[in-house]
Amino acid sequence: MAITFTWSVNDMHKVTATGAVYKVEWSCSGTDEATSVSHSRSGSYLHTNDDGVQATPDHTAGGFIAYASLTEANALGWVKAGGVQAHNEGLITTNITNKIAATEISTGMPW
């Protein structure tokens, strides 16, 4: 089974004055290439500080990317970090596998 995953950014929340993005709303869909069975998930990434507490990014810190310079790849990099990608792709794969297995079951009697 080969599943193709597509990640997307649906929306971003920022502090207008600084352009600091503190929340990214995302979605991920997976489709089995052989059967076209699909499943998707969505969620939100919330920026956290080094202590794991939700915080607004420091727009004066090194490595800060100005809002106008952000790409979808930048935002998805934040979203996918920390095991989020593996976790959600695993859940999607399990759901697709279960959907495919359910179509291989039938009811009835042989007479």
- Whole-prediction pTM value? 0.85
Residue 15 included in any domain? yes
7 contacts: CB under 8 Å, gap ≥ 6:
26, 27, 28, 76, 79, 80, 85
Residue 105, domain member (yes or no): no
Q: What's the total number of domains in the chain?
A: 1
The 10s digit of each residue's pLDDT in 67-100 is 999 999 999 999 999 899 999 999 999 999 999 9
CA distance 63 to 57: 11
Domain-embedded: residue 109: no
How large a percentage of the chain has pLDDT more than 90?
A: 74
Residue 7 main-chain phi, psi, to 5 deg: -100, 140
Range(s) of the domain holding residue 81 = 3-52+63-97
The answer to whether position 76 is within a domain reads yes
Evaluate whether residue 38 is within a structural domain: yes
Q: What pLDDT score was predicted for residue 94?
A: 97
